Amino acid sequence: MIPVTKPFLPPQQIYQNYLSGIWNRQWLTNMGPLASQLEMEIKQHLQLKHILFVTNGTVALQMAIKALDLKGEIITTPFSFVATTSSIVWEGCIPVFVDIDAESLNIDATKIEAAITDNTTAILATHVYGNPCDVETIDRIAKKHGLKVIYDAAHAFGVEINGKSIFEYGDISTCSLHATKLYHSVEGGFVVTQNADLLKKLASIRNFGISGFDTFAELGLNGKNSELHAAMGLSNLKYIEDIIKKRQALTQRYDDKLTSLKAYRPKWHKGSENKGAYYPLVFDSEELMLRIMDRLKNNEIGTRRYFYPSLASALPYLAPKALEITDEVSKKVLCLPLYYDLSFEEVDMVCRLILRVQNN
């Protein structure tokens, strides 16, 4: 069995060393020393001013919306994981979908301005598969119309644009550290902002809005994470360069073996490097994609239609909206297996099976 993804796990003794310290301290949560250490080490690794380690990437998005005091409409992408949209709805705002760019698969920044109304307060865009959005155009539009910008960078750990961390863009950026991600803490996430006052507000929201021993500053939630999760994050961070290098090599192997495939890969941001978070393909037809998916399944090889269907038409709590490019791409996209323990021989086998389907 070859799954579509598999979490990286560090040598067990490294994690056990952290666990021994947790057992000795008996401090399990409420921003213990390991959670604070993880914040510091991620901040140093990514060369950021501020980060907050939180429960997961979804809570990170909810905290971002709350911290910016957003109301009304938020322009967003229909081609993302459901949490991008559900967080907007959960916080009492209205998602307004803008179609994606057919090449990058990110929100089409040239179509954002036409969707702005008097009720628009923000743009929430996803760096799909870790491929940076058109941050320059989005920033220009946001400043022109007085809008806030949140980036869902769940897939984008370690990604840079011209040497600058992707998390430095927008008013707030969020990341997921879920077990399926390139770098993970089993469950987890973090929020990033360059604004010290906003960071203070986010920290307060993360801890129920508590401002003192018996005082409260604002509405908050429990967005903290545990020492057990922080221990996994610290363990895995030691191997992040090796993880990225291996996944990039596997990505290149797929590229080399699938040159004749009737499919295309997302066009990457010219100032950024693909870190190998996912291996998506957009096939020439849904029929070909489904045949390939079935053949791989019959050979116990996992794939995922990531993202299908379009969020603009799939959610029961929103009125459906047709979007030409998103509707077309979402029907034809498929992610192939990609993870640290995947072998080059297994990639070769996957590619052979794919090409046999196409060529028969």
Using the predicted structure, report yes or no on whether residue 144 has a pLDDT greater than 90. Answer: yes
Q: What is the pLDDT of residue 294?
A: 98
- Reported as a pLDDT band with limits 50, 70 and 90, residue 338 is very high
DSSP assignment of 274-317, as one string? ---S--EEEES-HHHHHHHHHHHHHTTB--B-TT-S-HHHH-TT
pLDDT digits (tens, 9 = 90+) for 213-257: 889 999 999 999 999 999 999 999 999 999 999 999 999 999 999
CATH of domain 12-237: 3.40.640.10
Instruction: Give me the helix-helix angle, 227-237 and 12-25, nearest 10°.
Output: 150
Q: What is the pLDDT of residue 258?
A: 98
Neighbour tally for 32: CB within 10 Å: 21
Domain boundaries, the chain: 12-237, 240-359
Average pLDDT, integer, range 162-190:
98
Q: What is the pLDDT of residue 105?
A: 98
Using the predicted structure, report yes or no on whether residue 72 has a pLDDT greater than 90. Answer: yes
Q: What is the pLDDT of residue 211?
A: 87
Percent of the chain predicted with pLDDT > 90? 99
pLDDT digits (tens, 9 = 90+) for 200-216: 999 999 999 998 888 99
Q: How far apart are CA 263 and CA 270, in angstroms?
A: 21
Please give the angle made by the CA atoms of 73, 77 and 81, to the nearest 5 degrees.
115
Q: What is the pLDDT of residue 34?
A: 98
Residue 3: asked if its preceding bond is cis (omega within 30°), the reply is no
Q: How far apart are CA 169 and CA 48, in angstroms?
A: 11
CATH of domain 240-359: 3.90.1150.10
pLDDT digits (tens, 9 = 90+) for 289-305: 999 999 999 999 999 99
Categorise residue 161: left if φ over 0, alpha if ψ from -120 to 50, beta otherwise: beta
Q: How far apart are CA 32 and CA 225, in angstroms?
A: 9
pLDDT digits (tens, 9 = 90+) for 95-109: 999 999 999 999 999
Place of tokens 């709350």: 66
Distance of CA 295 to the CA centre of its chain: 28
Average pLDDT, the chain: 97
Average pLDDT, integer, range 157-177:
98
Domains 12-237 and 240-359 share a fold: no
Backbone angles phi, psi at 208, to 5 degrees: 65, 10
Q: What is the pLDDT of residue 213?
A: 85
Q: What is the pLDDT of residue 212?
A: 86
